[in-house]
């Protein structure tokens, strides 16, 4: 999206580590990885919240999970991906960047992977898979989140269509956008979570699970 302030912030840093360079690879392969400033924000939340167990839905090429794991060697990431081509890229990258000890890849559809990841609870969950299913994934996996834990959902503005559905022509896209709208409304009404919607990049929702006894 054209935005002078955004370009200005992006110009402050080089973003040229070997891991950062995977962004160009993703763009060349048209893989929709998390936007740069959103990633910076999520990594900052990781530094503040200090999660040790992170669950991610939607691995793609492994870019975001490796960035999360890079914040601290104490972090374990469990990440779920169903697309075989992406799984192959992710595996290769986890080896190449030496994250196989910190990142566990679950090769499955996130709608059916609960029993493969419920061996532990999580301090943070990143929802970044099929956008029409964010609500389903939130409902399915939030029981595995510790009290006080954080769920971050990416793409809650979906290319700006969520706030401006009238410009959408395609029926399929419209249906998807409506699902994202419903999810955002539903999320804002969840009394056991406090959600903060961020107007940055493609939109982030940051939801914090209440502590049970306060
Ligand atoms: N988190 C990544 C980008 C993920 S792109 C990053 O920022 O680097 C979304 C990914 O979710 C795609 O690779 C897609 O194959 C995967 N995906 C979509 N629906 C899924 C599902 N139901 N189960 C598992 N993976 C899914
Ligand atoms: Mg995303």
| Domain definitions of the chain by residue range | 19-209
Q: Which residues pair with residue 145 across a beta bridge?
A: 122
**Reduced to 3 DSSP states, what percent helix, strand and coil does the chain have, rounded to the nearest 5?**
45, 20, 35
Q: Which residues pair with 151 in a beta bridge?
A: 125, 207
Rounded Cα distance, 51 and 104, in Å = 16
Q: Which atom of ligand 1 is nearest to the CA of 113?
A: 23
What is the tens place of the pLDDT at every residue in 47-66?
999 999 999 999 999 999 99
Ligand 1: list residues with CB < 6 Å.
32-34, 58, 60, 63-64, 80-83, 86, 109-111, 128-130
Put simply, whether the predicted model's pTM sits higher than 0.85 gets the answer yes
Q: What six digits make up the tokens of 34?
A: 């998390």
Residues with a beta carbon under 5 angstroms from ion ligand 2: 128, 154-155
Angle of helix 134-141 relative to helix 171-188, nearest 10 degrees? 40
Superfamily of domain 19-209 in CATH is: Vaccinia Virus protein VP39 (3.40.50.150)
pLDDT band at 136 (very low <50, low <70, confident <90, very high): very high
Confidence of residue 212 (pLDDT cuts 50, 70, 90): confident
- 169, two tokens: 């022509």
pLDDT tens digits along 144-170: 999 999 999 999 999 999 999 999 999
pLDDT of residue 214: 56
């Amino acid at each position: 999206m054209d935005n002078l302030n955004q370009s200005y912030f992006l110009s402050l840093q080089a973003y040229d580590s070997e891991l950062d360079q995977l962004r160009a690879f993703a763009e060349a392969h048209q893989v929709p990885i998390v936007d740069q400033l959103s990633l910076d924000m999520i990594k900052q939340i990781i530094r503040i919240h200090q999660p040790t167990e992170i669950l991610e839905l939607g691995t793609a090429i492994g870019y975001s999970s490796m960035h999360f794991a890079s914040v601290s060697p104490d972090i374990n990431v469990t990440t779920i991906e169903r697309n075989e081509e992406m799984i192959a890229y992710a595996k290769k990258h986890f080896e190449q960047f030496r994250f196989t000890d910190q990142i566990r890849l679950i090769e499955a559809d996130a709608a059916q992977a609960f029993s493969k990841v419920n061996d532990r609870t999580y301090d943070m969950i990143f929802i970044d898979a099929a956008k029409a299913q964010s609500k389903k994934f939130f409902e399915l996996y939030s029981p595995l989140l510790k009290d006080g834990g954080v769920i971050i959902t990416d793409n809650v503005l979906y290319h700006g269509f969520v706030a401006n559905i009238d410009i959408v022509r395609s029926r399929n896209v419209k249906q998807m956008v409506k699902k994202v709208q419903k999810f955002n409304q539903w999320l804002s009404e969840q009394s056991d979570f406090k959600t903060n919607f961020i107007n940055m990049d493609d939109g982030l929702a940051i939801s914090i699970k209440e502590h049970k006894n306060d």
